[in-house]
Amino acid sequence: MSRSSWRSDADPFAFLVARGPVAELTSATSWLQTMLDVEAAIAAAQAATGEIPGEAAATIAAACRVERIDVVAVEASAEQGGVPVIGLVEQLRIAVGSTAAEFVHRGATSQDIVDTAAMAITTRAAAVVGEQLTDAARSVDELAGAYGAAPMIGRTLGQFALPTTFAGVAGRWRRGLGEASAALGDLGASLPVQLGGPVGDAASYGARAADVAAGVAERLRLAVPDGPWSSVRTPIARIAGAWGMVGTVVGDVATQLVALMASDVGELSEGADGAGGSSSMAHKRNPVAAIAARAAAMQLPGLIATLLHAAAGHDFERATGSWHAEWPALNTMLRAGGSAVDWLATSLERVVVDVDRMAANLKVAEAARRR
Amino acid sequence: MSRSSWRSDADPFAFLVARGPVAELTSATSWLQTMLDVEAAIAAAQAATGEIPGEAAATIAAACRVERIDVVAVEASAEQGGVPVIGLVEQLRIAVGSTAAEFVHRGATSQDIVDTAAMAITTRAAAVVGEQLTDAARSVDELAGAYGAAPMIGRTLGQFALPTTFAGVAGRWRRGLGEASAALGDLGASLPVQLGGPVGDAASYGARAADVAAGVAERLRLAVPDGPWSSVRTPIARIAGAWGMVGTVVGDVATQLVALMASDVGELSEGADGAGGSSSMAHKRNPVAAIAARAAAMQLPGLIATLLHAAAGHDFERATGSWHAEWPALNTMLRAGGSAVDWLATSLERVVVDVDRMAANLKVAEAARRR
Amino acid sequence: MSRSSWRSDADPFAFLVARGPVAELTSATSWLQTMLDVEAAIAAAQAATGEIPGEAAATIAAACRVERIDVVAVEASAEQGGVPVIGLVEQLRIAVGSTAAEFVHRGATSQDIVDTAAMAITTRAAAVVGEQLTDAARSVDELAGAYGAAPMIGRTLGQFALPTTFAGVAGRWRRGLGEASAALGDLGASLPVQLGGPVGDAASYGARAADVAAGVAERLRLAVPDGPWSSVRTPIARIAGAWGMVGTVVGDVATQLVALMASDVGELSEGADGAGGSSSMAHKRNPVAAIAARAAAMQLPGLIATLLHAAAGHDFERATGSWHAEWPALNTMLRAGGSAVDWLATSLERVVVDVDRMAANLKVAEAARRR
Amino acid sequence: MSRSSWRSDADPFAFLVARGPVAELTSATSWLQTMLDVEAAIAAAQAATGEIPGEAAATIAAACRVERIDVVAVEASAEQGGVPVIGLVEQLRIAVGSTAAEFVHRGATSQDIVDTAAMAITTRAAAVVGEQLTDAARSVDELAGAYGAAPMIGRTLGQFALPTTFAGVAGRWRRGLGEASAALGDLGASLPVQLGGPVGDAASYGARAADVAAGVAERLRLAVPDGPWSSVRTPIARIAGAWGMVGTVVGDVATQLVALMASDVGELSEGADGAGGSSSMAHKRNPVAAIAARAAAMQLPGLIATLLHAAAGHDFERATGSWHAEWPALNTMLRAGGSAVDWLATSLERVVVDVDRMAANLKVAEAARRR
C-alpha cells in the first residue's frame, strides 16, 4: 500500500506545529464557514432591527454553508483581490438567488467579515486550548498528589543548590497552567465584533448600527465593542498577549520536563510505548512530546512580534498591508500555541517519576556540598 | 560654552526611545533603590511576623538608601557574578553594621530581589504611562469636540473610499487610548511579589512564608501570588501583553497622524514652534513627534519577542540565562513604550486641524468617484 | 458547480503568503522527496568509496521516489517520534527489499537527512527567488527606461522636499533588487551538506567520511563544509541573513509603490484588469499586488527571529527542541519570502506611470515651497 | 566610601549587555565624533574635487572634534527635531566660524550623516568583535589541543547517545567561531557610504557626486555603493545578517558550555576566582560568563527583527519613522552582540576540563545502554 498524501501537503511540519483541535478550527474550511456565519449573523441582526426582510435573512442563513459555496471561485478571487471576502460575497449571492441577493453583506465591508470571523475563531480556539490547559493541570495535580513529597535537589543556574521536593516543581507548573487557562478564559469573554462598514465609522449600518452590532455579537457569542476598532487594533494586541502567556507557560514547563528527563538527571521520563525512538540508536528513549512542546512554543514569540508589528502599523481607515499581514501570523500563532499545549498535555500524561533517582541525585548533591 | 556630555553617553538615542518619566523610573539608580526597598520590605515583614527583631528591621530600613551604598562596588560585583544582588547585599550589610547584618536578606535569594523589584518598577511605569495615555485621550477628546463634525474622505488601502467625519477617526483613537490605559491599570493591580527563596519553594522563609509575602506585597503595593513563579514566568508574559497593547495603540494612532500630516494629504499638521526643521531644507515642517512616536513604538514587538523567548525558557529552579535575558529586554521595553506614549502625547497636543483641506480633498475624491 | 477544497485546507492564507514557485518547493511532497534524494546520495557516495555495494546503491536510488513510499505511515511515525526520518527510513527499507535494506541510511542519523534536505530545498528556493528578483529588476529597468526622466517631487518624512526624477526612485529599487538577487546567489553557492552521524563527529561514516561528504555534496549540488555543523548552526544564520535581505528590499519597494499609488499621490497605479476590486465600493481600484507584497514581506522579521532564536539554542550533540523549532520557521519563511517576491514582481509588471500627475504634484509642491 | 554612579545610569544592565570594547564604540560621544568625521570627510572630498576651497575643508576638519562642539545644544535640538544632525550642523558651523560655515554640510542631508556614521561605527565594531571571536577560537584550539582526545558520551535530545571525543565538540565550536569571524570580516569590507542628498538622488552633490562619494569612502575606509540606498536598506539587512551569525554561534557555544557545566554533567566548569558566587548559597560555583553570554546573545533575534522590520518599511525618499527606528535597534544590537562575544571569550578562557568526569559519565552511559 502506498499513498502520496501527507495530512496537508502545504504544511510538512503539521505534526509538530498543528497538532490537536486548533488545527481544524483554523483551516480554510473553518475560516470560510465562519465568515459565512458572520454574513448570516449580520443579516439576522438586520432582520431583527427591521432593516431587511426576515425572509431574506432566512434565505441567507440557509445559504451560508461552505458546502453551498464555490470555494474554488472564492480562492481564485482572493488570488486576484488579495482578500477572500469579495469572492465569498459574490458566491454567496449566487447561492442565495436573485431575490435575497441584494440583502447579502448589507452595510458591510471586507474587514467586518474577516475581523469578526477572526474573533470568532480565536474565541473558539481559546476555549479549546483553555480546556487542554486544564487537562494538563489535572495531570500535574495527579503527579503532585502521588509524588509531591519526594525529596529532590533543587538546581539553579544549572548547579546543585538546596534540597526541595517535587511539590515545589509541580506547584509552579500548576499555577502557571492555571493562569494561562484563566488568561484564555478572559480573552474568550472579551473579543468584540467588528462592524465598521467601508470607512470604519459604522455609518453604513444606519441609525440602528449599535443594535445590529449587539445582535451580531449575541449570535456569534462575541463581545460588543464601544465602536469600530478597524484601524486601532486593540483586540489583536489582547490576543497576542494571551497567546504569549500560553507560550511562556508551555515553554517553561516543557523546558523543565526536558531538563528533568535528561539522561544525566533521569528523575522523570516519558513512558510512552512506541514513541521516542531513534533512526540510528535503538536503545534511546527520547522525551519526544516535551521536546515537541518546546519546539512548538518557540514559534510563538516571533509570530507575536509579527502580529504586533502588523497591528501597530494601520494607516487611515484600512491599512495598506498591515491588516493583511495579521491574518497568516494570527492563524499560524493560534495553531502553534494549540499544538504546543497538545504536546505538553501528552508529555504530562506520559510522565513517569523516578523517586529513587531523585533520592540518589540528592545524595550526590549533598555529598558535593559538604566537600 | 562647550560641554561634552550627552544626557546619557550609553544611550545616544535616548531622545527618541527614553523620553518622559519612565526613563528615570528605569535608571540604574532607580533599580538599585527599588532592590533596596525590597530588602527593607522583607525585613519589615519578617519583623511583623516575629522572625527578626523589629530593631534590626528599622536599622535595615534606614540603610536601604542608594546614597548609603557603595554602588561602584555593587557594579564591580555584578560584572563578576552576572547579577547585581550579591554585591548589593554585601554593601547593604556593611551599611547596616555588624549587629543587624545577619538579618539582611534573610531567607531571600537574588531572584526574589530582582523579580520583586522588576514588578515594582513595572507597576510604577504602568501608572505613569497610563496617566500619559489618559492625557493623550483628553487631547483627542478636545480635537473631536472641536472638529468631530468636519467631513473628510475616508481612505482604505490608500485609496479614496467614502466620506466620513473626523469624529470617526478620533473615536477610534479615543477608544484605543482608553483600552491601552485600562490594560495598564489592570497590569498595575496584578503584579506579584516573588518570594521563592533559593530553590523557589518559599521554604527558606519559614512557616509564616505566606504572611511574609503578604507583608512585602502590602509594603510595596504589589499583589500576593498563589506561590512562587520563579521558573514559570506568567507575570513577565502579562507585562509583555500590556506593553504590546501600548505599542499597538501608539503605533496605529501615530501612523494615522503621520498619514494625515503628509504634504499630499495635509489635513493635519504639528504646529509646534521650533520643532520639525530640516538640516538641508529650511521650508520643511516635519511631523517630528508623530514620527518619533512611531519609531519608539516600533521597538516594542522585537523587545516583546525577546522577553517572551526568555520568559519561556526557564530550566530547573532558576534559569541558565533566560532569567538574565529578561532584564535588559524588560527595561528597554518599558522605556521605549513610555517614550512612545510621551512622543504621541506631544504630537496630539500639537495637532492643528485643517478643515478646509479636508473639505477640498473630499471634493477631489468625490469628483474622482464620479468619473 | 461547487467544490469544497481550498488550494490547501491547512493554509487559508496561502494566496497571500504561499504564492509562486516556492510553495511547491516547500511542500510535504518536496520535503519527502528531497530527504529521499539525500538517502540516495549517501548510498551512491558510499558505493563510490567502496563502503557499500554499487548494486545496493542502485536499488536504493530506484526506491527513493516518494511514490514508492507509504507516506501515511511516515506521517504517523512523525506524529509519534517528532521527526519524519525514522518512519521514512523504515518505509524506505520496505521499498528497497531485504537484500539492500541494511545499506539504507548507513552511518546516517535523522539530523543528517533533515539538515541536508533543508539545505537542498533552500538552495533551490534561492535560485528560483533570485530569478524572480531579476525579473522584477527587469521591470524596473523598463519603467526607468520609459519614465526615468520624468520630474517629480521628492518626499521626505512625508513632506514635500525637493524636485527629483523617477530615475532616482527606480535606481534605488533597481540596486536593491540586484543586491537581494546577488545575496541569494551567494547563499545558493554556499549551503553545505550535513554528515555528522549520531553524535555529530562524522565517525559513523568511517575513515572516508570526507569523501562521502564530498560525494553527497556533488550529487546534491551543495557545498562541502569543513565538518559537521549539527549543533553550531551557521548555515541557518546565513539563510536567515539572505532572506532578511529579500524581505527588506521587497518591503521597501512595495511600501514605496503603495505610497506612490495612494489616491492622494496618484503618480503610479496597478493597471490590472479584474484585480483590485472592493466588496463594498465598486469604484475603487486597490494596489492589491503591492499591498500583498508588503503583507508577505512583513512576515519575515518575526520568522527570522524565531529561526535565529532556535538556531542559537542547541545543546549538546543534538538539541532538545531548538532543532525541531527551526523546521517550520524555515519553511514558512522560505514560502513567505518567495511569495513576497512573486507579489512584488506582479505589481511591478502592472505599474502604470502617470507623468502628468507627477508634474501636477510637483507644481503644487513648488507653490507650497514659495509660500 | 560611597558613590552614587553606575557605569551608566541609563543602562542598569550594562554589565550584562554592554561589556567589552563595543560599548565605547557605540556611545553618544562615539556617534557624535563619527558624525563629525563624516562631515569632515565630505568637506575634504569636496575640496579634492574642487567644489569647496581647501582651506575651508581644513578649517572644518579642525572643528570636527566632539570637544569643540556644544553637545548639550545638539541634544536639545535632537529632542526637538527628532534627529541629532540639525543641531550638530548648527554647532559645527559655530565652531567653524563665519568664513567656512557656508561650506559645512554642503549638498548633504541628515540621512547622509547618520547613515554613513552608522556604517563607520558598525565597520569598527565588526573589526573589534571579529578579533574577539578569533581570540575565542584560539581558546578553543588550546582546549582541543590539550583535551581533544578525551572520550566522552555524546548526548542527543538530552539522552545518552554514543561515545565521542571532546575534539568533536571543540571542532564544531571552532568552525562556528571561524565562520562568524569571517562573516564580520566580509561585512566590514562591504559597508558603503551614503551620499544621497535631500531626496536620495545625489543631485545635490553636483556633477562630481561619484568622486565625492569615493573620496568620502576612502577617508572613512568604507565601500563605495553603486548609488544611494537611502530608502532601500540593503546594508542594514547585511548588518542584521552578520550579527545574526554572531548571535547564533555565541548562543550555541554558550548553551553547550552551560550544559556541560551543569552539576549533573560536570565535565566542564568555569574556574575563575571570585566570580560565580551566590547571594544565598556559599558553596555554589555558577558558570557566570557562559550564562551571561547566553543572556546577551538572546537579545539579538528580537533586535534583529526590529531592525529588519524598520529597514523594510521606508516610504518615499526618506521614511516616516522606519529610518529613526533603525538607530536604537542597531546600536543596542551591536552592543549586545559585542557583549555576548566578550562574555563567551571570558568563559572559554576560564574553562576547566574534567576528563575523569567525562570518563565516569561515559561509563554510566555505557552501562545504561547495555541494560
ipTM of this complex prediction, to 2 decimal places: 0.96
Residue with cell 531571600: B108
Read off the pLDDT of residues C212-255 as tens digits, 9 standing for 90 and up: 999 999 999 999 999 999 999 999 999 999 999 999 999 999 99
Read off the pLDDT of residues B214-244 as tens digits, 9 standing for 90 and up: 999 999 999 999 999 999 999 999 999 999 9
Q: Please compute, for residue A182, the number of CA atoms within 13 A of its CA located in the half-sphere on the CB side.
A: 8
What is the DSSP track for D133-197? Answer: HHHHHHHHHHHHHHHTT-EEEEEETTEEEEEEEHHHHHHHHHHHHHHHHHHHHHHHTTPBP---T
Q: Do D262 and A159 touch (CB under 8 A)?
A: yes
Q: Which residue numbers in chain D have pLDDT < 70?
A: 1-5, 272-284
Would an 8 Å CB–CB cutoff place B242 in contact with chain A?
Answer: yes
Would an 8 Å CB–CB cutoff place A295 in contact with chain B?
Answer: no
Q: Are A37 and A221 in contact (CB under 8 A)?
A: no
- From chain A, the residues in CB contact with D162 under 8 A are 281
- From chain A, the residues in CB contact with D155 under 8 A are 262-264
| Closest CB to D313 among C161, C225, C251 | C251
| Closest CB to D75 among B1, B15, B26 | B15
Residue A370: band (very low, low, confident or very high) from pLDDT cuts 50, 70, 90: confident
Q: Are C353 and C143 in contact (CB under 8 A)?
A: yes
Q: Do D161 and A281 touch (CB under 8 A)?
A: yes
| CA–CA gap between residue C213 and residue C41 (Å, rounded) | 10
Would an 8 Å CB–CB cutoff place B69 in contact with chain D?
Answer: yes
Q: What is the mean pLDDT of residues C120-134?
A: 98
Report the gap between the CA of A278 and the closest CA in chain B (Å): 25
Closest CA relative to residue A14, chosen from A26, A2, A4, A31: A26
Kindly provide the b/e burial profile for residues B300-337, where b requires at least 16 CB atoms within 10 angstroms of the residue's own CB.
bbbbbbbbbbbbbbbbbbbbbbbbbbbbbbbbbbbbbb
| Closest CB to D325 among B29, B286, B298 | B298
| CA–CA gap between residue D183 and residue D122 (Å, rounded) | 13
Distance of CA C187 to the CA centre of its chain: 11
| CA–CA gap between residue A125 and residue A237 (Å, rounded) | 16
| Closest CB to B312 among A165, A228, A251 | A251
Type of residue at C184: L
Q: Do A18 and C10 touch (CB under 8 A)?
A: yes
Q: Do B263 and C305 touch (CB under 8 A)?
A: no
What is the residue-averaged pLDDT of chain A?
A: 95
H-helix segments, chain B: 14-17, 22-25, 28-48, 54-63, 71-81, 85-96, 98-101, 110-147, 166-188, 209-220, 234-261, 288-311, 322-350, 355-370
Residue A292 cell numbers, joined: 515537541
H-helix segments, chain A: 14-17, 22-25, 28-48, 54-63, 71-81, 85-96, 98-101, 110-147, 166-188, 209-220, 234-261, 288-311, 322-350, 355-370
Q: How many other C-beta atoms lie within 10 A of the C-beta of residue A329? A: 30
Per-residue pLDDT of chain B (371 residues; tens, 9 = 90+): 334 468 889 999 999 999 999 999 999 999 999 999 999 999 999 999 999 999 999 999 999 999 999 999 999 999 998 999 999 999 999 999 989 999 999 999 999 999 999 999 999 999 999 999 999 999 999 999 999 999 999 999 999 999 999 999 999 999 999 999 999 999 999 999 999 999 999 999 999 999 999 999 999 999 999 999 999 999 999 999 999 999 999 999 999 999 999 999 999 999 866 566 666 666 668 999 999 999 999 999 999 999 999 999 999 999 999 999 999 999 999 999 999 999 999 999 999 999 999 999 999 999 998 87
| Closest CB to A234 among B176, B258, B312 | B176
- From chain C, the residues in CB contact with D165 under 8 A are 201
- From chain D, the residues in CB contact with B30 under 8 A are 12
Q: Do D295 and B321 touch (CB under 8 A)?
A: yes
pLDDT of residue B371: 75
pLDDT of residue D277: 64
D294, closest residue in chain B (CA to CA): B321
| CA–CA gap between residue D262 and residue D265 (Å, rounded) | 5
Residue with cell 565605547: D24
Between the alpha carbon of residue D31 and those of residues A339, B33, B336, the distances in Å are 46, 31, 20
CA angle A213, A196, A60 (to 5 degrees): 60
| Whether residue D269 lies in the annotated active site | no
Report the gap between the CA of C300 and the closest CA in chain B (Å): 12
Residues of B noted as catalytic: 278, 318
Between the alpha carbon of residue D196 and those of residues D101, D115, D319, the distances in Å are 21, 10, 14
Q: Chain B: list its partners (3+ Cβ pairs within 8 Å).
A: A, C, D
Closest CA relative to residue D333, chosen from D249, D252, D243: D243
Q: Do C72 and A304 touch (CB under 8 A)?
A: no
pLDDT of residue A1: 35
Indicate the DSSP class of residue D198.
T
Read off the pLDDT of residues D286-333 as tens digits, 9 standing for 90 and up: 999 999 999 999 999 999 999 999 999 999 999 999 999 999 999 999
Q: Are D300 and C308 in contact (CB under 8 A)?
A: yes
Long-range contacts: D54-63, Cβ < 8 Å, 24+? D55/D100, D56/D99, D56/D100, D56/D103, D57/D103, D59/D96, D59/D97, D59/D99, D59/D100, D60/D92, D60/D96, D60/D100, D60/D103, D60/D104, D63/D92, D63/D95, D63/D96, D63/D97
Tell me if residue C317 falls in helix, strand or coil: coil
Report the gap between the CA of A224 and the closest CA in chain D (Å): 33
Q: How many other C-beta atoms lie within 10 A of the C-beta of residue D5? A: 11
Q: Do A158 and D301 touch (CB under 8 A)?
A: no
Active-site hit among C7, C175, C221, C278: C278
| Closest CB to B12 among D68, D197, D331 | D331
Residue C136: band (very low, low, confident or very high) from pLDDT cuts 50, 70, 90: very high
Would an 8 Å CB–CB cutoff place C28 in contact with chain D?
Answer: no
Between the alpha carbon of residue D162 and those of residues A281, D152, D322, D366, the distances in Å are 8, 9, 50, 8
Q: Which residues contact B308 (CB under 8 A, 6 or more apart)?
A: A244, A247, A248, A300, A301, A304, B236, B237, B240
- From chain D, the residues in CB contact with A160 under 8 A are 263, 284
pLDDT of residue D369: 84
Type of residue at A216: V
Q: Which residues contact B363 (CB under 8 A, 6 or more apart)?
A: none
Active-site hit among C68, C155, C172, C318: C318
- From chain D, the residues in CB contact with A159 under 8 A are 262-263, 284-287
| pLDDT above 70 for A3 | no
- From chain B, the residues in CB contact with A299 under 8 A are none
Q: Are D70 and B1 in contact (CB under 8 A)?
A: yes
Q: How many other C-beta atoms lie within 10 A of the C-beta of residue A117? A: 24
Report the gap between the CA of D74 and the closest CA in chain B (Å): 9
Residue C43 cell numbers, joined: 548510498
| CA–CA gap between residue C94 and residue C86 (Å, rounded) | 13
- The phi, psi pair for C268, rounded to 5°, reads -130, 160
- From chain C, the residues in CB contact with D261 under 8 A are none
| Whether residue C318 lies in the annotated active site | yes
Would an 8 Å CB–CB cutoff place C230 in contact with chain A?
Answer: no
**Burial level of C5, CB count in 10 A (0-12/13-18/19+)?**
exposed
pLDDT of residue C3: 41
Q: Are B78 and B87 in contact (CB under 8 A)?
A: yes
Q: Which residues contact B273 (CB under 8 A, 6 or more apart)?
A: none
Read off the pLDDT of residues D108-129 as tens digits, 9 standing for 90 and up: 999 999 999 999 999 999 999 9
D285, closest residue in chain A (CA to CA): A159
Residue C308 cell numbers, joined: 535565529
Would an 8 Å CB–CB cutoff place C215 in contact with chain A?
Answer: no
**Burial level of B99, CB count in 10 A (0-12/13-18/19+)?**
exposed
Q: Do B287 and C158 touch (CB under 8 A)?
A: yes
| pLDDT above 60 for A111 | yes
- From chain A, the residues in CB contact with C92 under 8 A are none
| CA–CA gap between residue B312 and residue A293 (Å, rounded) | 11
Q: Chain A: list its partners (3+ Cβ pairs within 8 Å).
A: B, C, D
pLDDT of residue A68: 96
| CA–CA gap between residue D187 and residue D127 (Å, rounded) | 9
Q: Which residues contact D40 (CB under 8 A, 6 or more apart)?
A: D57, D60, D61, D64, D219
Closest CA relative to residue A119, chosen from A69, A42, A193, A175: A193
Q: Are B322 and D297 in contact (CB under 8 A)?
A: no
